[in-house]
Chains A and B, each alone.
Chain A
Amino acid sequence: MEPFTIHRGIAVPLLRANVDTDAIIPSREMKRVGKTGLGQGLFAGWRYRNSDSREPEPDFVLNQARYAGASILLAGENFGCGSSREHAVWALKEYGFRAVLAPSFGVIFRDNCIRNGVLPIVLDEAKLIAIAEDSSAGGPVTVDLRSCQVFSPGGSVYSFDIPSAQREMLLEGLDPVALTLKLADRIEAFQRQDRLERPWIYLNRLREPSP
């Protein structure tokens, strides 16, 4: 996984509440099996004038010249709610986003961010509005995971919290599957005991489709 230490970039405000993963990446934009080819479909329902073309909708914030190349998203409450589709994070990442700041996140979306090296940061709405105003003239925002701080172009500094295991995972770019596979002995020991206590959990054959 790509590590995250410090990132400096343009912050774009999309502060509406309850932006769901269908809005982040509509179903029709998921065209084949895989984790790529999704950046063009990011926010497709809002970003383009209609569902059949790629003509930009000028009013949508990502299409405004001052936010071109934005890599930090300032979002509203419950951002990424709805469908579990990890394609939402793959689309954000492919577009260029490295961090999303919001008052709260959909639980699955937040975990998906961590697993893809996109940093989800929880900050109060008032702070996000302040960062949005402060950066509207074009100054970059800096997000530092080492110190757990966000630096706004006007000089304000905001601290944030993140569980230490997730922070380490992001800083080091660790692969959680590899880490867990090192605990194989513990898993086996658990299953040996559990088979005695809950034998019905451990199905011992596949039941084929009935004829």
Chain B
Amino acid sequence: MTPRSLFDKLWQLHVIAELDAQFSLLHIDRIFLHERTGGVALQSIAQEHRPVRHPELVFCTMDHIVDTFEGRDDDTLMPGGKDFIQTTRTEARRAGIRLFDVRDPDHGIVHVISPEQGIVLPGATIVCPDSHTCTQGGIGALAWGIGSSEAEHALATQTLRVSKPKSMRIQVDSALPAQVGAKDLMLFLIARHTAAGGSGHAIEFAGPAIRRLSVEARLTLCNMAVEFAAFTGMVAPDDQVFEYLHRRPFAPQGHDWEQALRHWRSLPGDTDARFHSELTLNAAEIPPMITWGTSPEHAVPVDGVVPDPSIAATANSRTGRERALAYMGLRPHEALQSLSIDAAFIGSCTNARLSDLESAARLLHGRKVAPGVRAICVPGSMQVRRDAEARGLHRIFLDAGFEWRVSGCSMCFNAGGESFGPEQRVVSTTNRNFEGRQGPRTRTHLASPATVAASAIAGHIADPRRLTLAD
């Protein structure tokens, strides 16, 4: 038998029919929606009198537009935002799907609560009209982002018509150094191979450095696969994943758990499986990374300098880099660490899980945010917030001068109507530094939670390796 990769196995498990030489009809095991792109899909199929085929396999949260202030309701700073929240609620109730509403104790960002609730499982297909759905590949699922029309198709048929993407393996040897995380690894990869480097591929991350990553770090890793233009990212499930999922609310229980476990152990790829392309990285070489420009590929080591656009390979890339410098208010050869910051943000589906908050809190412990810096921490879910509070992390954040919010996507983007403001320089644990992403003319530098914490304390971009840790 032909050796099969993890991706080959996940794909074959879900093929209902081969539609033609290119497209397969795939079974979709889980659908997740949110108020910005999911409400419109539910509304649209309702208008066409198409029922949701399996409401028990569909989930919805309110994460994008909702406020993240304590005691929030349907009002939001985004003009018209309330319409998204209320329409989504009406449609979700009408369809009879499980909604993690604004005040639900299990509320959170879709890609945080899906693993946390045991909704995504190894070997399952899960889609959501949200590009960061690839995050959930960290559990060993086949998870990818779709548009709202495709979501309508999934809701009405529990299937999607998909052309099998090419496969790529990224082998990561050795181990990440201290104060370097999955976020740094992905920024390093994207800077080296460009933001189009994984174009359309299903990527399996493998190798000793990946096996050593916690489940939460694997979620961060796969989250950024879409910033590499990938179809999705995934990591072969192992005992760490199974332990993580055990007894989660929607995870299999009892006899089902035992049967699922046997199935999940068969999912990792055969050792001689073939890929359309392969890349190799040495984790030991990766430093804390930070972006200087307006694409995740514009990343350098935190102790580096702003690159000179004239070194770009093509005229178009040079123009792009010049535009990015103008937007970011930077000059070539400036040291990143010399840049003073206006704000620090810890949150988002990339880096707002408990381990992310712990990594920041270890540096913030007993320290203060620099005067003039606005610092905000938004836990990825209410469960993360409760877990953090049980460990006293909220006190560390508050004592340091951070705002401590309730869960949501918050200032990862401008969807909630909140922004740091024009020309404000923000160090952020989010995934996109696009022009205007965090608000009109806001300047975003992407980094890990450790680097954001170190920078918040210093008042300028700072290297977390230069701070001593709290015991």
On chain A, the residues within 8 Å of B249 by CB distance are: 207
Q: Is the CB of A108 within 8 A of B260?
A: no
Q: Is the CB of A115 within 8 A of B317?
A: no
A170 to chain B, nearest CB (A): 14
Q: Is the CB of B414 within 8 A of A26?
A: yes
Does B104 belong to the interface (CB within 8 Å)? yes
On chain B, the residues within 8 Å of A18 by CB distance are: 195-196, 295, 297, 320
A180–B23 Cα distance when bound, in Å, is 12
Q: Is the CB of A82 within 8 A of B434?
A: yes
On chain A, the residues within 8 Å of B441 by CB distance are: 51
User: Which residues of A10-40 are within 8 A (CB) of B?
Assistant: 15-18, 20, 22-23, 26-28, 30-35
Q: Which residue of B lies closest to A206 (CB)?
A: B98
Does A85 belong to the interface (CB within 8 Å)? yes
Q: Which of A55-63, A92-100, A141-149, A183-191 faces chain B?
A: A183-191
How many Cβ-Cβ contacts under 8 Å join chain A to chain B? 206
User: Which residues of B363-420 are within 8 A (CB) of A?
Assistant: 413-415, 417
Q: Is the CB of B435 within 8 A of A23?
A: yes
User: Which residues of B273-321 are within 8 A (CB) of A?
Assistant: 295, 297, 316-317, 319-320
A89 to chain B, nearest CB (A): 8
In the complex, which of the residues A76, A85, A198, A205 has the most CB atoms of chain B within 10 Å of its own CB atom?
A198
Does B170 belong to the interface (CB within 8 Å)? no
**Interface residues of B: mostly helix, strand, loop or mixed?**
loop
User: Which residues of B192-238 are within 8 A (CB) of A?
Assistant: 195-196, 199-200, 226, 229-231
Q: 4 extra interchain contacts, Cβ-Cβ under 8 A, other than A33-B88, A86-B148, A176-B153? A: A17-B317, A22-B434, A111-B147, A201-B124
Does A203 belong to the interface (CB within 8 Å)? yes
Q: A106-B229, A210-B105 are in contact. Are A183 and B195 (CB under 8 A)?
A: no
Picked from B20, B256, B417, the residue with its CB within 8 Å of the CB of A28 is B417
A73–B106 Cα distance when bound, in Å, is 44
A32–B39 Cα distance when bound, in Å, is 10
Does B269 belong to the interface (CB within 8 Å)? no
Picked from B50, B56, B200, B413, the residue with its CB within 8 Å of the CB of A22 is B413
Q: A84-B146, A164-B20 are in contact. Are A200 and B83 (CB under 8 A)?
A: no
Q: Is the CB of B37 within 8 A of A180?
A: no
